[in-house]
Amino acid sequence: MVSRFGEKRGLIHQFMHYLSIEKNASPHTCRCYRRDLEGFEDFLKSSGMYLTPTGDVEIEKVDRIGIRKYLSFLHRKNKKSSIARKISALRSFFKYLVREQVIPSNPAKSVSTPKVEKTLPTTLTVDEAFRLMESPQSIFEKSSEGSKERGLRDRAILELLYSSGLRVSELVGLNSNQLDLDLGIVRVMGKGRKERIVPVGRKAVESLEAYLEERGMLKGLRPGGRASRRAMRLSEPAAGPEGEEPIFVNFLGGRLTARSVGRLIKKYTRHSGIFRKISPHSLRHTFATHLLDAGADIREIQEMLGHSSLSTTQRYTHVSMGKLMEVYDKAHPRSFRNMGRKSKENN
């Protein structure tokens, strides 16, 4: 029996179900892997490799040679990082087929991937971060009534990203039942659908309260209009089961997308006089870097970022050069500061 790539309920479809249900892969990962596998299938068909008389790819015949030819094809137009991900998708796919006894061995197992240089995203200084947080208010405070909610929303987004180091996918996926503003915590569903609890800073809590109050998602307001912190509970969701009303929505009421968050950050960084490329991931990295600079333990940062491996956190965070030199000057006996002190003592 010939096993085919294509068909609505073919091997790729089965693999996507396995990734989503059994491996708890994120929707983003599933979309990328599907696109990569379909691209590989298209390459084999256009190259006339491993085809049946009906033009389908016979998966049992795909070997290392075919994958190497595909790798050579990818090198013409793709970045190393894209190639590495595509090969990773193939490895995982063929590993699954071996598991399901569709093929005897994994033809992609020994195919080497290009070495990808680890580049750290740009970070903000503390002053730049504070300017960025204030930017939505300075733009919308004198705007029309319809713009008020958007300004409050954008401020809450920026504050939460910087305060808690969330991934942008985690931020846009937040629902009303994941926030506890009383305790100042958020329950986050991270990679692999692993849940973690992350603290939310006072400024972020205040921004969220203002935004959610504007949306009518808070109850327990005092007669004077000022909300009691103890009474600040999210109201029952207006839509969606079990509190699954999205926290951050667009002007149509739909869940905000990661791309929209990226665009608004780009707008506010420019308004703040920051002309480097800043992304949602940059704010996550800034969160970790500022904690590290202030003396936080790297394992605590690992927990808040949701990294399963400490080595990931070590690559992800870096000590600023200013902090590094400050520590060196204070601690090393041969530093400029300590050598100068000794010279004065000798005199």
| Structure token pair of residue 164 | 């808690």
Residues 27 and 62 in one domain: yes
Residues 85 and 179 in one domain: no
Q: How confident is the model at residue 225 (pLDDT cuts 50, 70, 90)?
A: very low
Token look-up 């796919």 returns 93
Number of domains the chain contains: 2
Residues 89 and 232 in one domain: no
Residues 147 and 62 in one domain: no
Residues 81 and 202 in one domain: no
- What are the pLDDT digits (tens) for 73-98? 999 988 888 999 999 999 999 999 99
- What are the pLDDT digits (tens) for 253-301? 899 999 999 999 999 999 999 999 999 999 999 998 898 888 888 888 8
Residues 274 and 189 in one domain: yes
| Helix-, strand-, coil-residue percentages of the chain, each rounded to 5 | 55, 5, 35
**CATH at 34:** 1.10.150
The residue that leads in pLDDT, 327 or 310, is: 310
pLDDT at 211: 94
Burial 23-48 (b: 16+ CB within 10 A, else e): eebbeebbebbbebbeebbebbbeee
**CATH at 143:** 1.10.443.10
Residues 228 and 274 in one domain: yes
pLDDT at 284: 92
Instruction: Give me the mean pLDDT over the 296-307 stretch.
Output: 85
Q: How confident is the model at residue 187 (pLDDT cuts 50, 70, 90)?
A: very high
Is 284 labeled as catalytic in the residue annotation? Answer: yes
Q: Which of 167, 215, 285, 290 is catalytic?
A: 167
Residues 62 and 150 in one domain: no
Is 281 labeled as catalytic in the residue annotation? Answer: yes
Is 285 labeled as catalytic in the residue annotation? Answer: no
Q: By mean pLDDT, which of 88-92, 132-136, 324-328 is the weakest?
A: 324-328
Residue 16 burial (CB count, 10 A): 17
pLDDT at 318: 59
Q: Which residues contact 304 (CB under 8 A, 6 or more apart)?
A: 164, 165, 196, 198, 199, 288, 291
Distance (Å) of CA 56 to CA 6, 41, 52, 314: 7, 9, 5, 46
| Structure token pair of residue 243 | 């509190």
- What are the pLDDT digits (tens) for 40-73? 999 999 999 999 888 889 999 999 999 999 999 9
pLDDT at 339: 55
Residues 212 and 280 in one domain: yes
Is there a domain that residue 110 lies in? Answer: no
In the predicted structure, residue 227 carries a pLDDT above the cut 60: no
Q: Which of 191, 196, 255, 323 is catalytic?
A: 191
CB 120 within 8 A of CB 110: no
Domain of 83 in residue numbering reads as 11-99
**Residue among 284, 294, 293 at smallest CA distance from 316:** 284
Q: Which residues contact 186 (CB under 8 A, 6 or more apart)?
A: 160, 164, 166, 174, 178, 179, 180, 197, 198, 200
Is 316 labeled as catalytic in the residue annotation? Answer: yes
Residues 146 and 217 in one domain: yes
Instruction: Give me the mean pLDDT over the 292-315 stretch.
Output: 80
Written in H, E and C, the secondary structure of 166-195 is CCHHHHHCCEHHHEECCCCEEEEECHHHCE
Domain boundary at 59, 81, 99, which? 99
pLDDT at 110: 87
Residues 306 and 256 in one domain: yes
pLDDT at 287: 92
pLDDT at 343: 53
For residues 25 and 197, give the distance between their C-alpha atoms in angstroms, rounded to a whole number.
Answer: 20
pLDDT at 236: 42
- Strand pairing partners for 97? none
Distance (Å) of CA 66 to CA 15, 48, 100, 204, 235: 20, 11, 22, 52, 57
The residue that leads in pLDDT, 95 or 222, is: 95
Q: Which of 33, 70, 162, 316 is catalytic?
A: 316
Q: Which of 131, 284, 285, 290 is catalytic?
A: 284
Instruction: Give me the mean pLDDT over the 143-153 stretch.
Output: 76
In the predicted structure, residue 133 carries a pLDDT above the cut 80: yes
User: What SS3 class is residue 51?
Assistant: strand
Is there a domain that residue 292 lies in? Answer: yes
pLDDT at 104: 95
Q: Which of 95, 148, 203, 281 is catalytic?
A: 281
Instruction: Give me the mean pLDDT over the 186-206 stretch.
Output: 88
In the predicted structure, residue 114 carries a pLDDT above the cut 60: yes
Name the CA radius of gyration of the chain, rounded.
26
Strand order of the β-sheet with 185-189 is 179-180, 185-189, 195-199
Residues 297 and 180 in one domain: yes
Q: How confident is the model at residue 341 (pLDDT cuts 50, 70, 90)?
A: low
